[in-house]
Amino acid sequence: MTEIETQGTLEAMETWGIDLSKQAFKFSAAHFLIFPDGTCERLHGHNYRVFTQVDAGITEHGLVIDFKKIKPIVKRLVDELDEHLLLPGEHPGLVATERGDGVTEIRYADRYYAAPTEDVIVLPINNTSSENLACFLGRRLMDELQQQFSSVSLDRVLVAVEETSGQRGRWEWTQPPE
């Protein structure tokens, strides 16, 4: 971020960023939401799309981060979720137990599901909403960016997860002001 000053007062601020919205940033997954009153949706699936924005200082070469280097990271993160049953591992009423025979049993209220363990991902979230999926992916993306691009000074990272056309949840991290 660069501040432009005029006569000692802050007039404007310039920022640089990249937006990624690729056809390949998609995953299909099953889930169910758990509502505040304890009821839950039926098990169902979505064809999710993922959108990202990364704001950071611009390098001497005129880049925030090379698109060719960040696209594979986002693609790998969404591919890890593709074709799985996603469960909220931090919901207090949901219990997922791996049996010894390669099956995971899922219990919530009066519901019972059993699925091959390899098809189940228990996420560190309290509900499988698009907002929480965006948070999960966003935090993973932040970790990857900080590890692989340690010289990049991140200002903002946004991840949005669209579960149906025109309906998406988002997560945003912003560098605190100095």
Q: Where are the domains of the chain?
A: 12-34+45-87+127-174
Length of the chain: 178
Model confidence pLDDT, tens digit, residues 30-70: 999 999 999 999 999 999 999 999 999 888 889 899 999 99
Q: What is the mean pLDDT of the chain?
A: 93
Q: What percentage of the chain has pLDDT greater than the value 90?
A: 81
169, 131 in Cβ contact below 8 A? yes
Cβ neighbours, 10 Å, residue 64? 20
The answer to whether domain 12-34+45-87+127-174 has CATH 3.30.479.10 is yes
Residue 14: per-residue pLDDT: 84
Residue 146: per-residue pLDDT: 92
Pick the residue with more confidence: 2 or 81?
81
Residue with the two structure tokens 């049953």: 85
Burial of 178 (0-12, 13-18, 19+ CB in 10 A): exposed
Q: Smallest Cα–Cα separation from 52: which of 145, 149, 153, 147?
A: 145
Check residue 43 and give left, alpha or beta (phi > 0: left; psi -120 to 50: alpha): beta
Angstrom distances, CA of residue 144 to CA of 48, 54, 152, 166: 21, 13, 12, 28
